[in-house]
Amino acid sequence: MPVEPAPLPGLAIIGGGPAGLMAAEVARAAGIEVDLFEAKGSVGRKFLIAGKGGLNLTHGEPRPGFDHRYRERQEAAAGWLDDFGPDALRDWARGLGVETYVGSSGRVFPLDRKAAPLLRGWVRRLREDGVRFHVHHRWLGWTDDNALRFATPDGERRVHAAATVLALGGGSWPQLGSDGAWQPWLLERGVDVAPLVPANCGFDIAWSDHFSSRHAGAPLKPVVAHWREADGEHTLQGECVVTETGIEGSLIYALSAQLRETIARDGEATLTLDLAPGRTLERLQHDLGKPRNSRSVSDHLRRQTGLGGVKVALLYEVLGKDRIGDDALLARTIKRLPLTLRRARPIAEVISSAGGVRLEAMDDALMLARLPGVFCAGEMLDWEAPTGGYLLTACFASGRRAGLGAVEWLRHMQSHSMQAAPM
């Protein structure tokens, strides 16, 4: 049986990712007692995985362009970034002995590109500052008297907290702790939560078995994506990768929100790719119109356009053998290869999720209107951003905002209690 709920002297933070750790840091710096609870055996597991190929901490894009990456939530995100933006994040990392640099793409990395040294140094500093860590504590919601419930190896534990910061992540990579299990507990308390959906994700395409078996894993670079929105057509150059089920990669991730919304509205989305960004349609038509003689279509394409490998295979996949010999149609398809996207990949395998606690359900300090004294931060909030450092920056910044909000709440409650005490 669970023991009688024990009171915590200050702030309970649930979730040991960047948002939770940053909330802990600012609260402890303000003199608040902090207990941080983590479901896994150590904190920052998704942070470490994100840095496996090189920790992309933030981005060097100037503001307000940086803010625009948060789409419909850019106004709220801009407020967080005013307090703790990309430059402040780099300064903070420097304070942990981690220097950073801006790569050719504008992405910001530690000099050694590793996540582990930064995380180790951060956790060590938090412990030295007095943050108490409780691992293997999986949150189970609240009791009827508002005690926090935790599943632990020794049975259920219950604690009362004067204030709580929830930094539980979204729904992606559940094996690392972000499984979205918190949704029903907030919904039961009347908190407005948008359904979690995949973000920064790949998409399924109905490839033929012949194509997918031969070209899964092949990179497509460079290509230019074309897509249409309400304000007209847009283009973006980048790289992507053919997968066994469809397509993914940085270019696709950057467009995933628009593509996901189009599929939700229309049942599918069409993305067109320019396979030869360096050549005009007129030049392609001229070059492809040269005599082929006895050469195959593939050889003719390679000689006249420089295309080969998976790009030629894509042309066969879309046009088929019967139409690929039409030079005019072939040239147009090279410049506008249509791909029909059927669905986003499952949320459990994508980089991040959209949806979550709606910002309208909380105040500027990220405190829930329906649950005074409970704050939320990080990816569990209803915002999204592309990869490239934008995700991590907003997680840090929102964690800081929620932590400071909790500090002010606790101070207010203490002041109110002192005023109400009998003389």
CA–CA–CA angle 313, 316, 317 (5° rounding): 85
- The CA distance from 311 to 303, in Å, is 14
Q: Residue 132 falls within a domain, yes or no?
A: yes
Same domain, 217 and 317: yes
What are the φ and ψ backbone dihedral angles of 340, each rounded to 5 degrees? -95, 115
Looking at the structure, tell me whether residues 389 and 241 fall in a common domain: no
- What's residue 234's pLDDT? 86
Answer left, alpha or beta for residue 169, where phi above 0 means left and psi between -120 and 50 means alpha. left
Element (H, E) at 268: none
Which of 12, 27, 4, 7 lies closest to 374, judged by CA? 12
* Alpha-carbon gap, residue 338 to 360, rounded angstroms: 38
Q: What is the pLDDT of residue 108?
A: 98
Query: Does 333 lie in the same domain as 244?
Result: yes
Return phi, psi of residue 36, to 5°.
-110, 130
Name the H helices within 114-198: 116-128, 183-188
- pLDDT tens per residue across all 423 residues of the chain: 555 566 777 999 999 999 999 999 999 999 999 999 999 999 999 999 988 889 999 999 999 999 999 999 999 999 999 999 999 999 999 999 999 999 999 999 999 999 999 999 999 999 999 999 999 999 999 999 999 999 999 999 999 999 999 999 999 999 999 999 999 999 999 999 999 999 999 999 999 999 999 999 999 999 999 987 778 888 999 999 999 999 999 999 999 999 999 999 999 999 999 999 989 999 999 999 999 888 888 899 999 999 999 999 999 999 999 899 899 999 999 999 999 999 999 999 999 999 999 999 999 999 999 999 999 999 999 999 999 999 999 999 999 999 999 999 999 988 766 666 555
Residue 130 lies in a domain: yes
| Domain CATH code at residue 69 | 3.50.50.60
Is 169 found in the same domain as 289?
no
Model pLDDT, residue 292 = 85
Please identify which residue in the block is written with the tokens 């879309």: 318
- Phi, psi angles (nearest 5°) of residue 40: -85, 180
Amino acid at 354: A
Quote the pLDDT of residue 418.
60
Token pair of 113 as six digits: 């590109």
Closest by Cα among 357, 4, 1 to 192: 357
Q: How many domains does the chain have?
A: 2
161 and 32, same structural domain? yes
Using DSSP's 3-state secondary structure scheme, residue 326 falls into: coil
Residue 315 and residue 330 in contact, taking contact as beta carbons nearer than 8 Å: yes
Residue type, 320: G
Q: Are residues 373 and 295 in the same domain?
A: no
72 lies in some domain: yes
Residue 296 lies in a domain: yes
Any residues with CB less than 8 A from the CB of 415 and at least 6 apart, and which?
A: none
- Which pLDDT score is estimated for 316? 95
Domain match, 207 and 194 both: no
pLDDT of residue 3: 52
**Domain of 76, in residue numbers:** 6-199+350-420
pTM score, two decimals? 0.93
Q: What is the pLDDT of residue 415?
A: 76
**374 in the same domain as 257:** no
Are residues 392 and 56 in contact, defined by beta-carbon separation less than 8 angstroms? yes
Task: Looking at the structure, tell me whether residues 52 and 91 fall in a common domain.
Answer: yes
- For residue 346, what pLDDT is reported? 97
Q: Are residues 402 and 377 in the same domain?
A: yes
Token digits for 153?
């190896």
The Cα 212–Cα 205 span in angstroms is 10
What residue type is 62 in one-letter code?
P
Q: Is residue 1 part of a domain?
A: no
Q: Looking at the structure, do residues 240 and 387 belong to the same domain, yes or no?
A: no
